[in-house]
Amino acid sequence: MMKHNFNKSHSTIQNLLSVPKPLFSGAAAAAFSLPIARKNTSTTINTKKSKKSNGVLWRHCGGTRVKAILTTATAAKSTTTLKAKVTVLETLGGALSHLGSRVIDDVMDLLGKTILLELVASELDPQSGLEKTTIKSYAHNSGHNNNEYYYETSFEVHEDFGEIGAVLIENEHHREMFVKNIVFSGFSTTTNDSVEVTCNSWIHPKSDNPDEKRIFFWNKSYLPSQTPTALRRYRQKELEILRGDGRGERKTADRIYDYDFYNDLGDPDSDVDLSRPVLGGPHRPYPRRCRTGRPRTKKDPSSESRSSSVYVPRDEAFSEVKTESFATKAVYSVLHALIPSMKSQIMNTDTDIGFPYFTAIDTLFNEGIELPNDSTTGSLASIMPRLVKTISEKCFLRFETPQFVNRDKFAWFRDAEFARQTLAGVNPCCIKLVTEWPLKSKLDPAVYGPAESAITKELIEQEIGGFTTVDEALKQKKFFVLDYHDVLLPFVNKVRELQGTTLYGSRTLFYLTPADTLRPLAIELTRPPVDGKPQWKQVFHPTWDATGVWLWRLAKAHVLAHDSGFHQLVSHWLRTHCCTEPYVIATNRQLSAMHPIYRLLHPHLRYTMEINALAREALINANGAIENSFSPGKYSIELSSVAYDQLWQFNLEALPADLINRGMAVEDPTAPHGLKLTIEDYPYASDGLLLWDAIKQWVTDYVAYYYQEPSLVQSDNELQAWWTEIRTVGHGDKKIGWPELKTPDDLIGILTTIIWVASGHHAAVNFGQFDFGAYFPNRPTIARTQMPTEEPKDEEKKQFLEKPEEFLLKCFPSQHQAATVMAIIDVLSNHSPDEEYIGEQIQPYWADDKVIKASFERFHGQLNVIAGIIDARNADTNMKNRAGAGVMPYELLKPYSEPGVTGKGIPNSVSI
C-alpha cells in the first residue's frame, strides 16, 4: 500500500491517518448541548442555549458535533475526563488466526498498549492557524463477552480543545482487528450522555503501515465547503488513500477502490477453451468492476490471471463479521463444496442424464440426493440445514417444497400461469406493449434472414375468435410481447456448436382480456441461416389436437429457458449487481465519509462488491455454474454485454421511465404516482410505484435539508466529481441516457434511481427465484434439444410422436443442472437473520438530527403502510394476477420479512 506522510506541513500533529468507511455514528450526540464534567470548577452548565453563566460561555453545538470543553473568559482553565470503550469483535481473520503472534499481542494487552486512540479537534487554533495537538491515550483490555472484546481508556481534555471532530485509531497488535464501535462518556456528571462512534471496520496492524492510522469522523455531515477547518486536510487525504495510485496488485488488507474491465472471467492458462473475451470498451461495452491488479495470463495478455480469492476493499468484506447463517457463507459453500460433492455422486452415472419421468423430479423434495460421507459434506449440514439433511449418519441434499408447488403443483402446465408470471413472476420487467404491426426485427436481414415475423394477422384473428381485429386491438393496447428475438438470434449458431444445449430467437405474443389477464396467442421460434440453409422460423399456438398441444408445450419450454437466461444474466446480474458496482467504487473514491450523500447511499451499496467478487470467482466465470446450466453456455456473460449495449440506459432504470419506455404506462397527472398503467393489475408495477414514491419522498426530504440553496449542488466539487466518474469511467462505454446534475431535483432523481435499483428492483428479481424456479419445469434454465419440427431425424420424430413426455423431459435440464441451479437459487432467495431491510433501522449518524430523524420515521411508516396495501391487494380476488385458487400472492415488494426463503422482504442493498 502506498504510504502517506500527513505531517509535512503540520508540525503540531504526528502520523495523521487515512479515513475509512463505514463511518461514524453517534447514538447520543444530540442536537442539543451536552453538559461536561469539569475539574477545578464548580460552575453549573446550562445546556439549553448559548449564554454566559458564572463567567462561563456555553456555545450551542448543533447536529452531532460534541464540544468536549467549555470556553471561559474569566475562570481558570480546566479539564474534563472523557472515557472511551472500544469493542473489538473476535473474527476468523482476527483473534482466532495468526497464532504465532498471539504471545506478543497478549503481552501488549497486559502492558495496556493494544489500541492507541487520538482525539482530533474540529477547528484550527485561532491564534496560530495550525491544527491543535491531538490528545492521545492507550486503551487496555478490560474483558470480553461472547465474541466481543473490550478495551478502555480515558482522556484529560483541556477546555480550549474545542469541539471533537474525529478520532484516530492505531492498532498495536500484530494482526488486524475488527473494531465495532467506540463509546465516549463523561460529558456530564448528572446524566448518562454518551457518544457512540460506529466503526465496523478492519484496522490493520501498525507494523504493516506505521505511517497510516485510521480516522473516523464524528457524526455531523458536511458538504465540502462547510468542512471545519481542522478536518479539511483529513477529508482530502482520506479520498486520496481510497483512490490509490492505480498500480500494483491489491493486498487483502488494502482499502483501495479502482476500476478495471471484466477481464478475469476466463482461465486460458488452464485450458484454451476457457478463454473468454474482455468485457468493457468499444467492442464489448460493459460496466467496470473493482481493480485487483493481478498479473496477466501467459496465453492471453489481455486477460487477468485467476486466484483462489478475489480482492475487494477490506471494509467491503463482511462474511466473517456477519452471523454464521449469513447468505454469502452459504453461497460459497454451495459453489465450492456442495456442487462438487453432488457432481461426484451423479458422475457415477452420467451428468447429462435427464429425469426419466415427471414424478422423478419429486424425489428432489421428498428423498433427495445422497452425498459423499466425508468431513466436508458433514459440515454443510450445519451451514445449510435447509439444504443438507443428516439421516442415520448419511447426508442428503434435499430441497424444501417451494410455495409454488404447495399451492398448485400443476400450475406450471397452464397457459394462464405462463402468462401471469410475465406480470407477477420473478422476471416481470421484460413484457412490453406492441405498438406496430407486423412485428419486425432490427437485425440485418442479409445476415439473419427476413426481418418480418411469421406471426400473421390471419393467425392472430383466428386465435382471438373474431372478437376484434388486429388493427383495433393495437389501438386499444391489447397486444403485449415477450421479445427475445434480436438479442438471442446472433448467438444461435454459436451456441448450437456447444454440446448439450440449443437456442432460438423467440417472440411470444399475448392478448389482454377484459379481466386484465394475459392470454398467450403465439410463439415464434427462429434460427438464422447456417451452412447454406436459409432462415428457419415457425409459429406455434394453443391448439386442440394432441400433436399441436405437445408442440406448444415444447415451444413454451424454449421460451421459458430464454426468459430464465435473460432474467439471470440481464434483469438480475447486469441491471443490479453489475451496474451497481461502479456506483460503489465512485462513491468511495469521490464522496468523503462525512459527505451527506455518501451517508445516504452507504446502506444501499454495502456488501455488493463482496457478492460480485464471489460471482466472478465461481458463478459467472468460465465453466462456472451459469455457463454449465443456462442455454447460452460459454456465451452467457457476453450476451449480457450485448444487452447492456443495446438496452441499458441510466435514465430508463427509474421505474416510471422503464414502465413508460415499455409501453406499460403513460404519464397522467390525475392518476396515482402520475402514471396510468396500461394493465391495471400489474403487481410488479403497482407495488413498485408505491415503493418508488416512498423512496423519492425520503430522498427529497434528505436532499432539501442539506442543499437548501440550489447552487450548492453545482458548487459541491465532490458530488460533481462523483457523478462525472460514474458517467465517464464506471459506465464509460455508455454515452447517452445520463441526466444532468445541476439542481436538487436532478440529484433527487439520480439518487432515487440508484436506491430503487439496489433495493426494490433487486428484491423483485431475486427473492422469488426459489419459489418460482425450484420446480424447474416452471422455469427451465436450459433447452437441450431442438424442436422436433426443425429438420427432424426419423428417430427423433418417432420418439416425439410415441413418447412426447419423454421428449419434453430430455429438453429440460439434466439432473445435475437442475440440482445445481436449485441449490444456488435456494441460498440466493434466503434472508439471513441479520438482514438489513430498507427503511427499517435508522443509521446512527442520523439518529440525533431531529429533522432527518423525522423524515426517516415518515419513510419507515410509509413502508409499513405499503405492506398493508400489498396484503389487501393479495386478498382481493378481483385482482386475478395476484389472487385466486392456487395463485401465488405477489409479495416480492413487501418491505419486511422474517428470516428464510419467504418470497418477500427488500434488503437495503444488493447483498446476495
Model confidence at 280, pLDDT cuts 50, 70, 90, reads very high
Q: Which residues are within 8 A (CB) of 90 and not within 5 positions of it... i.e. 6 or more apart?
A: 96, 144, 147, 148, 149
Instruction: Write out the DSSP string of 512-570.
Output: E-TTS-EEEEEEEEEE--BTTBPPEEEEE---SSHHHHHHHHHHHHHHHHHHHHHIIII
Give pLDDT, residue 319: 47
Give pLDDT, residue 10: 36
Query: H helices then E strands: how many in the chain?
Result: 31, 26
Task: Tell me the three cell numbers of residue 123.
Answer: 477547528
Model confidence at 455, pLDDT cuts 50, 70, 90, reads very high
Give pLDDT, residue 848: 82
Q: Which long-range contacts does 740-748 make (Cβ < 8 Å, 24+ apart)?
A: 741/713, 741/714, 742/713, 742/714, 743/710, 743/713, 744/703, 744/704, 744/707, 744/710, 744/713, 746/713, 747/597, 747/703, 747/707, 747/713, 747/719, 748/696, 748/699, 748/700, 748/703
Mean pLDDT score of the chain, rounded to an integer? Answer: 87
Paired strand residues for 150: 87, 143
Give pLDDT, residue 349: 57
Give pLDDT, residue 190: 59
Q: Which of 55-69, 151-165, 547-561, 596-610 has the lowest mean pLDDT?
A: 55-69
Task: Tell me the average pLDDT across 777-804.
Answer: 94
Q: What is the pLDDT of residues 404-419, one digit of tens each?
A: 999 999 999 999 999 9
Distance in angstroms (rounded) separating the CA atoms of residues 172 and 205: 6
Q: What is the pLDDT of residues 876-893, one digit of tens each?
A: 999 999 999 999 999 999
Q: What is the pLDDT of residues 574-608, one digit of tens each?
A: 999 999 999 999 999 999 999 999 999 999 999 99
CA distances to 193, 580, 717 from 605, rounded to whole Å, are 32, 8, 21
Q: What is the pLDDT of residues 55-106, one digit of tens each?
A: 332 333 334 444 544 333 434 568 889 999 999 987 654 443 433 344 445 5
- Give the position of cell 416510471: 656
All structural domains of the chain, each given as residue ranges with its CATH number in brackets, are: 79-218 (2.60.60.20), 430-562 (3.10.450.60), 567-782+839-901 (1.20.245.10)
- Does position 716 have pLDDT exceeding 60, yes or no? yes
Give pLDDT, residue 383: 80
Please list the alpha-helical segments (H only) found in 334-451: 339-346, 358-361, 363-366, 375-383, 403-407, 415-424, 445-448
- Does position 3 have pLDDT exceeding 80, yes or no? no
Biggest CA-to-CA distance, the chain? 106
Distance in angstroms (rounded) separating the CA atoms of residues 772 and 620: 21
Q: Which residues are within 8 A (CB) of 768 and not within 5 positions of it... i.e. 6 or more apart?
A: 425, 426, 829, 892, 903
Distance in angstroms (rounded) separating the CA atoms of residues 309 and 614: 8
Half-sphere CA count of 691, side-chain side, radius 13 A: 34
Task: Tell me the average pLDDT across 456-481.
Answer: 93
One-letter amino acid at 695 equals: I
584 CB-contact burial (10 Å; exposed 0-12 / middle 13-18 / buried 19+)? buried
Task: Tell me the three cell numbers of residue 117.
Answer: 486512540
Give pLDDT, residue 351: 72
A 10 A CB-CB count for 346 gives 18
Q: What is the pLDDT of residues 344-364, one digit of tens each?
A: 666 555 678 999 999 999 999
CB 240 within 8 A of CB 212: no
Give the burial string for 622-659 (b: 16+ CB within 10 Å, else e): bbbbbbbbbbbbbbbbbbbbbbbeeebebebbbbbbbb
Q: What is the pLDDT of residues 369-407, one digit of tens each?
A: 888 877 677 778 878 888 988 887 788 899 999 999 999
Give the phi and the psi of residue 56 in degrees, each rounded to 5: -110, 130
Q: Which residues are within 8 A (CB) of 865 and not within 5 positions of it... i.e. 6 or more apart?
A: none
Task: Tell me the average pLDDT across 622-631.
Answer: 96
Give pLDDT, residue 8: 36
796 or 708, greater pLDDT: 708
Give pLDDT, residue 105: 52
Task: Tell me the average pLDDT across 290-300.
Answer: 96
Question: Parallel, antiparallel, or unpaired for β 163-171 and 177-185?
Answer: unpaired
- Active site members: 572, 577, 762, 766, 912
Distance in angstroms (rounded) separating the CA atoms of residues 202 and 200: 7
Give pLDDT, residue 381: 81
Give pLDDT, residue 189: 61
Model confidence at 112, pLDDT cuts 50, 70, 90, reads low
Give pLDDT, residue 896: 98
Task: Tell me the three cell numbers of residue 163.
Answer: 469541539
Task: Tell me the average pLDDT across 799-807.
Answer: 95
Please list the alpha-helical segments (H only) found in 217-264: 232-243
Task: Tell me the three cell numbers of residue 869.
Answer: 396495501
Give pLDDT, residue 76: 55
Give pLDDT, residue 811: 97
Q: Which residues are within 8 A (CB) of 874 and not within 5 positions of it... i.e. 6 or more apart?
A: 882, 883, 889, 890, 891
DSSP 634: G
Among 60, 68, 50, CA closest to 162: 68
